[in-house]
A and B are shown apart, each in its own frame.
Chain A
Amino acid sequence: MPALSSGPAVAFEQVGKHYGDAAAIDGVSLTIAAGTFVALVGASGSGKSTLLKTVNRLVVPDRGRVLLDARDVADGPAPALRRRIGYVFQDVGLFPHLSVAENIALPLRLAGTPDAAHAMAMLDLVELPRAVATRMPAELSGGQRQRVGVARALVTRPGLLLMDEPFGALDPVTRESLAGAVKRLHDELALTTIMVTHDMAEALLLATRVIVMAAGRVVADEPPAALLAGAGGTAAQALVAVPRAQATRLAALST
């Protein structure tokens, strides 16, 4: 892997988004330092996905703005912005009419810098055998598909990786393995990563900063250790209680 990228800092300034009368995001302000791995945690409808998508303009906020290294994402055309940002989501969205290699190489084609060898190297990076390059997406397992999704998202060497429930549809073993791979990529590529998840355990284990959302607002913003130590308020602690209780029960079973 040549020249490691260093991710941008991300800032949300009073970002709001309404659907009809309902506020999906209600005036969120955050600053995320370059190189952070942030987990956005919350129940369904808490606004975490909507907030994530304001970064690559899949959602356009009604008010406020989002800055990448102090530059407003709303400046310039959306496709140019999105080519600088890796995006991985639960349904993966591999192009079913293209082979694995073509899927991974497509962002390079869009950028006008096709590089088949680099696309193949991405397979190594996400720990897939090169033999899958010629396969069609329908021939892959769910875990393999999401690995291809990650490879496609990172092939243009973006500094920022957005992930929306990236492991939500995977079995626990695959999930664990892929989460490890993502964490490693985050470190190796010096990415800024924002991951949306409803799984507090996943957030605590992967992220360096956990932001809890409820009803479109940020209700807690702590490092994992602080959350485990009881910080962040009741909503956050209710979420932390679930994996903790599970861990306790598991420990009780083994004694």
Chain B
Amino acid sequence: MSDAFARVPALAAQHLLLAMAALALALVIGVPVAIRAARAPRLAGAVLGFASLVQTIPSLALLALFYPALLWIGHGVPALGFLPALLALTLYALLPIARNIVTGLRGLDPAVLEAADGIGMTRAQKLRLVELPLVLPIAMAGVRTAAVWTIGAATLSTTVGQPSLGDLIFAGLQTQAWTLVIAGCVGAAGLALGVDLLLGVAERAAGERRWKRAGAALLLLVAATAAASTPLWRGGGERRVVVGAKNFSEQYILARLIGDRLTRAGYAVTYRDGLGSAVAFGAVAGGEVDVYVDYAGTIWTAEMHRADTPPHAEQLSAIADWVQKSRGVTLLGALGFENAYAFAMRGDDAQRRGIGTLDDLVRVAPQLRFGADLEFLDRPEWAAIRRANPLRFASATPYAPTFMYRALESGRADVISAFSSDGRIAADRLTVLADPRHAIPGYDAIVLVAPAHRKDARFLDALRPLIGRIPVAAMREANYRVDRDRDKQSPEAAARWLAARIGL
């Protein structure tokens, strides 16, 4: 419990910095645009229409969309991390700010505006002395809404590689470590309440024309944000590296295993957890992440767009060539186990129906319900498998990985797209179906290193002992320590256990 909450302050600081930066940027853009728009109905329609449209995009998708957009811009613009998160959250914060200012300005008493003109105010004086003071309360209400939304949505920045309290929530959801989820939620809610409270005090004080009090509240907020950004100004001295992890237990464990070795080699290690599959490789190629573990088949199908399934050694050397030539990424080596997509059924069910291979499965598939992980149904592997084996299930439902196993266990699904290194296969006594047509490519776990460390001997030497060292049985057990329901371990503890198990 205390472990989970110990991570809150550092992540909360990053979270606050991101959210406040987005809010500030939204104000810088939104206020002048809204003031102009309030005088031009057509511009107002366009601005508010655009901002409303942005709101209809799910925030997770909005963040994800900035990745390809920034990638397309190129020219060294970082596609991951702070920038895409900042831009997405800024767009999100624009609507409540712009809408409230436009509505507020349009709703001002015409008599007051006539009086302002009548006593000879210039446009600027009218704005400064009359319109802005009168619109301030409703504008502040918009800013408060934007602040709360932004802090909430900032939890999703984890998925584009920007650390936030979402790290805890996503890691906790994946490993069913509810204390992590609670720590992340409580942290985010606390931040939102705190910021809203300060803005509320400023708003009320401004309404009562107690400017010192309003200023003090805003100053406190700025100071808190500035304090949150101090870790960014440090640096120098230590060598800082970032270890990436996708969003499931094995990735968290391997990231900590790698991170522990780099720490011992004298690096200051930070983690980027919960990266989307497509984002992770881009992150290491772009240098936002220094090292992470991927799987041969994922690079093979998703990055290299290959559909054939050559022998493993051949596949690995082809990948090593390709990642080096196309993106400057070093494939340090394979860890020694495979985490392939594997069709799994409840053991007794498979036996009763007489299913041992994908060929057998084709026959009975129309009577079975298929549970897949969130990505699988859209992945090229699934298309390849269906080309080799005409599978038609009664239904196909995507689940988050942990819930996928639950679905199989509870009978809501009869077949799932399991992972061959998953500890729950043995623990739940599942039957993994054979793939006689070799429709599924090899999924050896491979260590990918960012271009900057290509010739960094100290870095590579720290990681080399891991190569070929992790048998699938050891990985399964480490995974199970995190995934099991009782006596759960944290990924850090499982990583330490795994290091001892493989003699490092």
- Is B120 an interface position by the 8 A CB rule? yes
Q: Are B111 and A82 in contact (CB under 8 A)?
A: no
A95: chain B residues within 8 A (beta carbon): 112, 115-116, 129-130, 134
Q: How far is the CB of B204 from chain A (nearest CB, A)?
A: 14
Given contact pairs A95-B130, A97-B134, A110-B125, A89 touches B118 in the complex (Cβ within 8 A): yes
Q: Once the chains are docked, how many angstroms separate the CA of A97 from the CA of B116?
A: 13
Task: Out of B112, B113, B116, B122, name the residue touching A96 (CB < 8 Å).
Answer: B112
- Give the interface centre of B118, B125, B209 by most chain A CB atoms within 10 Å: B118
Q: Flag if B117 contacts A58 (CB, 8 Å).
A: yes
User: Closest chain A residue to B119 by CB distance?
Assistant: A107
Check B112–A106 contact: CB distance below 8 A.
Answer: no
Q: Is A89 a contact of B114 with CB atoms below 8 Å? A: yes
Q: For the complex, what is the distance from the CA of A34 to the CA of B116, rounded to whole Å?
A: 26
Q: Does B193 contact A (CB under 8 A)?
A: no
Contact of B115 among A80, A81, A83, A94 (CB under 8 A): A94
> A79 — nearest CB in chain B belongs to which residue?
B120
Asked if A80 contacts B109 (CB within 8 A), the reply is no
Within the complex, the shortest CB–CB distance from A195 to chain B, in Å, comes to 15
Tell whether A110 pairs with B114 under 8 Å between CB atoms, given A93-B109, A95-B130, A97-B134: no
Q: Which residues of B contact A94 (CB under 8 A)?
A: 112, 115
Complex contacts, B215 vs chain A, CB 8 Å: none
Determine if A83 and B120 form an interchain contact, defined as CB atoms under 8 angstroms apart: yes
Supposing A93-B109, A97-B133 touch, asked if A107 and B120 sit within 8 A by C-beta, the answer is yes
Report the separation of the CA atoms of residues A28 and B322 in the bound assembly, to the nearest whole angstrom: 86
Q: Mark A32-60, 1 if CB is under 8 A from B, else 0.
A: 00000000000000000000000010100
CB distance from B119 to the nearest CB of A (A): 5
Q: Is B502 an interface residue (CB 8 A)?
A: no
**Chain A 73-87 near chain B by CB (<8 Å), digits 1 or 0:** 000011111110001
Q: Would you call B197 an interface residue if the criterion is a C-beta within 8 Å of the partner chain's C-beta atoms? A: no
Q: Is the CB of B114 within 8 A of A79?
A: no
Q: Could you mark each residue 130-143 of chain A with 1 if its beta carbon is under 8 Å from any beta carbon of chain B, else 0? A: 00000000000000
Given the known inter-chain contacts A95-B112, A110-B125, please indicate yes or no for A82 contacting B134, CB distance below 8 A: no
Q: A93-B109, A96-B134, A106-B129 are in contact. Are A82 and B115 (CB under 8 A)?
A: no
* Known A-B contacts A106-B129, A110-B125; A93 and B118 likewise in contact (beta carbons under 8 Å): yes
Please determine whether A89 and B111 come into contact, CB atoms closer than 8 angstroms. Answer: yes
Q: Would you give the 0/1 interface string for B456-487, flagging 1 where the beta carbon is closer than 8 Å to chain A? A: 00000000000000000000000000000000
A222 at the interface (CB under 8 A from B): no
In whole angstroms, how far apart are the Cα atoms of A89 and B122 in the complex?
19
B123's nearest neighbour on chain A, judged by CB, is A79
Contact A82 B120 (CB under 8 A): yes
Min Cβ gap B472→A in Å is 72
Which residues of B have CB within 8 Å of A56?
118
Q: Does B57 contact A (CB under 8 A)?
A: no
Mark out the residues of chain A between 81 and 115 whose CB falls within 8 Å of any chain B CB in the assembled complex. 81-83, 87, 89, 91-97, 106-107, 110
Whether B121 sits at the interface, judged by CB under 8 Å, is yes
**A150-181 to B contact mask, C-beta < 8 Å, 1/0:** 00110000000000000000000000000000
Q: Which of B109, B119, B134 counts the most A-chain CB atoms under 10 A from its CB?
A: B119
- Tell me if B118 and A87 are in contact (CB < 8 A): yes
A106 / chain B contacts, CB cutoff of 8 Å? 119, 129
- In the complex formed, the residue of A with least CB distance to B111 is A91
Please, how many angstroms separate the alpha-carbon atoms of A91 and B114 in the complex? 9
Give every chain A residue within 8 A of B120 (Cβ-Cβ).
Answer: 78-83, 107, 110
Considering the complex, give the chain A residue whose CB is closest to the CB of B207: A97
Contact yes or no, B130 A58, CB < 8 A: no
Complex: how many Å from CA A82 to CA B113?
A: 14
Q: 8 Å CB contacts to A: which residues of B87-125?
A: 109-122, 125
Q: Which residue of A lies closest to B130 (CB)?
A: A95
Contact B121 A93 (CB under 8 A): no
Bound-state CA distance A210–B47 (Å) is: 50
Q: B114 — which chain A residues lie within 8 A by C-beta?
A: 58, 89, 91, 93
* Residues of chain B lying within 8 A (CB to CB) of residue A79: 120-122, 125
B86 CB → nearest A CB, Å: 34
Q: Is the CB of A110 within 8 A of B121?
A: yes
Quick one: given A97-B133, A106-B129, A110-B125, are A92 and B118 in contact (CB under 8 Å)?
Answer: no
Report how far A67 CA is from B267 CA in the complex, Å. Answer: 82
A33 and B110 CA atoms in complex are apart in Å by: 32
Cα(A94)–Cα(B115), bound, Å: 7
The 8 Å CB contact of A93, one of B112, B122, B125, is B112
Which listed residue, A77, A91, A96, A110, touches B119 by the CB 8 Å rule? A110
CA distance A116 to B121 in the complex (A): 19
- Whether A82 contacts B117 by the Cβ 8 Å rule is yes
Query: How far, in angstroms, from A169 to B110 measured CA to CA in the complex?
Result: 16
Return chain B residues, CB-CB under 8 Å to A81.
120
Give the complex CA separation of A82 and B118 in angstroms.
6
Assembly CA distance A150 to B209 (angstroms): 26
When distances are taken between beta carbons in the complex, the residues of chain A under 8 Å from B122 are 77, 79
4 tightest A-B contacts by CB? A93-B115, A91-B111, A82-B120, A83-B120
Question: Could you write out 11 A-B pairs with CB less than 8 Å apart?
Answer: A56-B118, A78-B120, A80-B120, A91-B110, A93-B109, A93-B113, A93-B115, A93-B116, A94-B112, A96-B112, A97-B134
Instruction: Other than A89-B115, A89-B118, give 20 A-B pairs with Cβ distance below 8 A.
Output: A78-B117, A80-B120, A81-B120, A82-B118, A89-B111, A89-B114, A91-B109, A91-B110, A91-B114, A93-B111, A93-B112, A93-B113, A93-B115, A93-B116, A95-B130, A96-B109, A97-B133, A97-B209, A106-B129, A110-B120
- Using CB atoms and an 8 Å cutoff, list the residues of chain B in contact with chain A: 109-122, 125, 129-130, 133-134, 209
